[in-house]
Amino acid sequence: MDKKLHSALNEQIKNELYSAYLYLSMASWFESVNLEGFAHWMKVQAKEEEKHAMKIFDFLNDRGVKVVLQAIAQPPVDFSSAKEIFEQSLGHEKKVTAMINKLYDLSLDVGDHASRVFLHWFINEQVEEEKSPSKILETLRAIKGEGAALIMLDRELAKREG
Ligand code: FEO
């Protein structure tokens, strides 16, 4: 595999694990304010991110190139509201989409068709990854992020399946 592509895919494992860390930190904040449904939603999201990281981990190994795990930065720990958290989630997912698009461009540049096809899954997945926080954010804006409607939304998010 081309060295630059190998290194970029390897780095994306760290980026996906950072996403898991970020969502787990958000889950922790929701736990601290007794919004257990939101916390559950974030914990399920963190697991999804681990799966994304493992997909790349397995792909690199299948291609016979070594995975070198990198340090994961500390995520933010202080948040002010559910609305702020979902704004940050959406912003984060947009950044991840840009990363995936760059990886795709690189796979085209170096003519690595197996990587290009592998990345199709991630391109499709990012549509969902942006849609989910965006929908929740719309609801949070509509209910002004407080009151009985917030508790109702918390109950709704508790139903997310892993
Ligand atoms: Fe792995 Fe949320 O993107």
**Residues 55-82 pLDDT 10s:** 999 999 999 999 999 999 999 999 999 9
**Residues 11-26 pLDDT 10s:** 999 999 999 999 999 9
Average pLDDT on 118-139 reads 97
Nearest atom within ligand 1 for CA of residue 92: 2
Using a 6 Å cutoff on CB, does residue 15 contact ligand 1? no
Q: How confident is the model at residue 157 (pLDDT cuts 50, 70, 90)?
A: very high
Question: In the predicted model, is pLDDT for residue 145 greater than 90?
Answer: no
Using a 6 Å cutoff on CB, does residue 119 contact ligand 1? no
Q: How far is CA 63 from CA 93, 102, 110, in A?
A: 27, 20, 15
| Å from CA of 26 to ligand 1 middle | 15
Using a 6 Å cutoff on CB, does residue 130 contact ligand 1? no
Question: In the predicted model, is pLDDT for residue 162 greater than 90?
Answer: no
3-state secondary structure string, the chain? CCHHHHHHHHHHHHHHHHHHHHHHHHHHHHHHCCCHHHHHHHHHHHHHHHHHHHHHHHHHHHCCCCCCCCCCCCCCCCCCCHHHHHHHHHHHHHHHHHHHHHHHHHHHHCCCHHHHHHHHHHHHHHHHHHHHHHHHHHHHHHCCCCHHHHHHHHHHHCCCCC
Residues 6+ apart with CB under 8 A from 158: 36, 37, 40, 41
CA distance 25 to 46: 9
Using a 6 Å cutoff on CB, does residue 93 contact ligand 1? yes
**Which residue from 46, 63, 45 is spatially nearest to 117, judged by alpha carbons?**
63
Question: What domains appear along the chain, each with residue ranges and CATH number?
Answer: 3-157 (1.20.1260.10)
**What does pTM read for this prediction?**
0.95
**Which residue from 75, 83, 10 is spatially nearest to 46, judged by alpha carbons?**
75
**Residues 82-125 pLDDT 10s:** 999 999 999 999 999 999 999 999 999 999 999 999 999 999 99
Average pLDDT on 37-61 reads 98
